[in-house]
Amino acid sequence: MLTRSCARGDAYRQAGKLEAAVDKYRLALKADPRSVAAYNNMGIALARLGRFEGAVNAYKKALALEPRRAEFYLNLGICYVQLSRFNDAAVTFQKATQLDPGNQKAVEFLVMSYLASHENERAIAEIENAYGKQPGDPKIVRLLAGAYVQEQEFRQAIGLLLNLA
């Protein structure tokens, strides 16, 4: 029943029938309350419905069962951003980057969370670290230039952007 309900939930989610997907994931969780896939996928469906608090709860339950899954932290952090809980988001994205140091998306969200929390120095330190590893990556260059602008370090920002052109 779990596999079938989860699979049906996935099919509904992929077809855009998000409420039906959530119902199937709940059914799957009644059969097996330790189903990490059902919690994570329910979180995805709830987030797409704009029900971010519910998604946060689902991701937390998935993480309680499998705390070493960087993608779960990434999903949770994105929900925190949607809820304007930038400090919680930063902590969550930091955990994602610890578990998966090469996850550029997590680094980008971490930096944006720091900037939204007005922790510009931490944002710059994080981006400079990423820039040191991938100096030619345009996303990282733009993030770093934007952070420099926020700190009114215009010469550094312009220098970076000129090197992109």
pLDDT digits 0-9 by tens, 14-56: 999 999 999 999 999 999 999 999 999 999 999 999 999 999 9
For residue 1, the model assigns a pLDDT of 46
Amino acid identity of 33?
P
**Domains of the chain by start residue, with CATH:** 1-67 (1.25.40.10), 69-165 (1.25.40.10)
Q: Is 147 left (phi over 0), alpha (psi -120 to 50) or beta?
A: alpha
What pTM value is reported for the model?
A: 0.87
Q: What is the pLDDT of residues 115-149, one digit of tens each?
A: 999 898 999 999 898 888 888 888 888 888 988 99
In the chain, the N- to C-terminal Cα span, in Å, equals: 56
- Compute φ and ψ for 89, nearest 5 degrees: -60, -45
DSSP symbols for 86-132: HHHHHHHHHHHHHH-TT-HHHHHHHHHHHHHTT-HHHHHHHHHHHHH
